[in-house]
Amino acid sequence: MDKSSAPAQTFHTAVIGTGSSGTAVASCLSRLSECMQFNSKGLIQNNHKHTLISYSGTPCTIECSEFDFSTLDCVFICTKIYQIKTVIDQYIDKIPVSAPIILSCNGFILDILDKLILSYPTHHFRISYVDFGVSKIKDYTYKVNSSDSSFIWGSYSRSDSSEFYHSQVFPFEMKLSNYKDEFTRISFIFSDSCIRHNCNKWIFNTCLNSLCTYHDCRTNGEVLNYSEELKQVFDETFNLSKILFKKYQLQTDSDSLFKGLLSLIERTFLNQNSMVSDILEHRHSENDYLAGMSRQDPQSFPLLSKIYSYISKLDANSN
């Protein structure tokens, strides 16, 4: 790791989530700071070690250290979207108000964030966008499938205009934003346009994950065999996004965004799709927060609604 790219201070981070994304984030931060990694039930992951294999094939064992929660500088929540409220309610009293809470998950999250901000107005919640791919090799072992990728996060809470935010929270976030982990090649970037990134991520996840699961595609690339449906799903998802993100007045070009989706599929062509993995391992998927957002007006989004109904039946068999 390039020490010159890391914040000068020693700081403490907690990563809640022990799947592929949480393990990748914990791996990056364990080389930078003292880091704890928890599962969604609140159990610290010190009893077994996680291994992350870099894009170049080099393995690294993640070791988490335990520390006083009151010294926490930052929290990353990398769980399923439907677990967020339970996780927040469980941990919020332990998290200092100066520690930004960065949510990283698939699905439409802004309604959840609005409710969290109303319930916990003194805390600083963040949305995020990641463009790295991580695959599970076996239990507690994951591999990074992309090089020179990013973890982008940004402001959401109105309390970010306060003097406390500018003196206590913002300086730390700017230091973390200068960090690039040389092992995973993942850069941490604070962005003022994270709502746009989050919207694009939701569109991509809804199209790719939903259609892969609908056709039982074992890799992302297989979805290209259903090119007409892919375009129809994209068109419906894009139109739905204009409703869901209406108050943010995002100006997005449909053609360039569809090209971005195709580029993502090409970059992750051989990756096993994350929602397909959930279904195969009998885990509940994020379907309600992806294609399921069409249920407010199913007649306007017929293919999305059909896909949502199909995956809901698969979810009924989950643990």
Tens digits of residue pLDDT in 57-90:
888 887 777 778 888 999 999 999 999 999 998 8
Q: Name the one residue in this structure whose structure tokens are 């809640």.
A: 16
- Report yes or no: 186 and 24 within 8 Å, Cβ to Cβ: yes
Q: Are residues 152 and 291 in the same domain?
A: no
Domain around 174: 8-192
Helix axes 302-315, 227-244, angle to 10 degrees: 90
3-class DSSP state of 239: helix
Confidence of residue 162 (pLDDT cuts 50, 70, 90): confident
pLDDT digits (tens, 9 = 90+) for 99-126: 999 999 999 999 999 999 999 988 999 9
pLDDT for 278 equals 92
Q: Are residues 39 and 183 in the same domain?
A: yes
- Return the CATH number at 282: 1.10.1040.10
Q: Are residues 201 and 131 in the same domain?
A: no
Beta bridge partners of 142: 52, 136
pLDDT digits (tens, 9 = 90+) for 164-219: 777 878 888 888 998 999 999 999 999 888 888 899 999 999 999 999 999 999 89
Beta bridge partners of 152: 129, 189
For residue 194, count CB atoms less than 10 angstroms from its CB and return exposed for 0-12, middle for 13-18, buried for 19 or more. Answer: buried
- Return the CATH number at 73: 3.40.50.720
Q: Which of residues 171, 192, 213 is at a domain's end?
A: 192
Q: Are residues 148 and 232 in the same domain?
A: no
Q: Which of residues 134, 166, 192 is at a domain's end?
A: 192
> Residue 9: is its pLDDT beyond 80?
no
Verdict on whether the full-model pTM lies above 0.85: yes
